[in-house]
Amino acid sequence: MHVTLKFIGESNKLSEIQRVLADIHSEPIEIAFRTAGFFTPRAPRVFWAGVEAPQELRLLANSIDSALAEVGILLETHEYTPHLTLARVGSGRPQGDRRDRNKSTMIELRARVESLPPPEFGTMLAKEFYLYRSETLPSGPRYTKLGRFELK
């Protein structure tokens, strides 16, 4: 699991990306994981946990965005809204009987989650961030770490 700071997309500029990320400076950031929700509530596909953090997390994401723009990566057009993806439907090879694939387990999960008090998942001190390669495979996504960058 990870909290995305910036989605880069396809790029052949790995060394330039790693160089500008190495120049990013931020103190470690305390992050709390609270609440839960669903993207596209009517037809939910992603179940997420909310991320609560001081302004430094948004500043870090903005610093990364600006630094990557220097090497030709497009700037974000949406406000940074961090979350932790807990479950996703629609990626990977379909499972189960063909007749059951149109039934939304996310709708059932949403009903259960909404009937409970808001969850508290805990806190952590982020001391580093990573550059990942993300690949979509028939079995689901695969993430490979390409770089590690300390927050100090």
Residue 34 confidence class, pLDDT cut points 50, 70, 90: very high
Q: Residue 7: inside a domain, yes or no?
A: no
Q: Residue 133: inside a domain, yes or no?
A: yes
| pLDDT surpasses 90 at 59 | yes
| Least confident interval from 24-38, 61-75, 100-114, 120-134 | 100-114
| pLDDT surpasses 70 at 99 | no
Number of domains into which the chain is organized? 1
Q: Residue 138: inside a domain, yes or no?
A: yes
DSSP state of 75: P
Looking at residue 106, its pLDDT comes to 87
Q: Residue 85: inside a domain, yes or no?
A: yes
| 103 neighbors 96 (Cβ within 8 angstroms) | no
Q: Residue 4: inside a domain, yes or no?
A: no
| pLDDT surpasses 90 at 57 | yes
CATH number at residue 28: 3.90.1140.10
Average pLDDT, rounded, for the chain: 90
28 CB-side CA count, 13 A: 8
Range of the domain at 19: 14-150
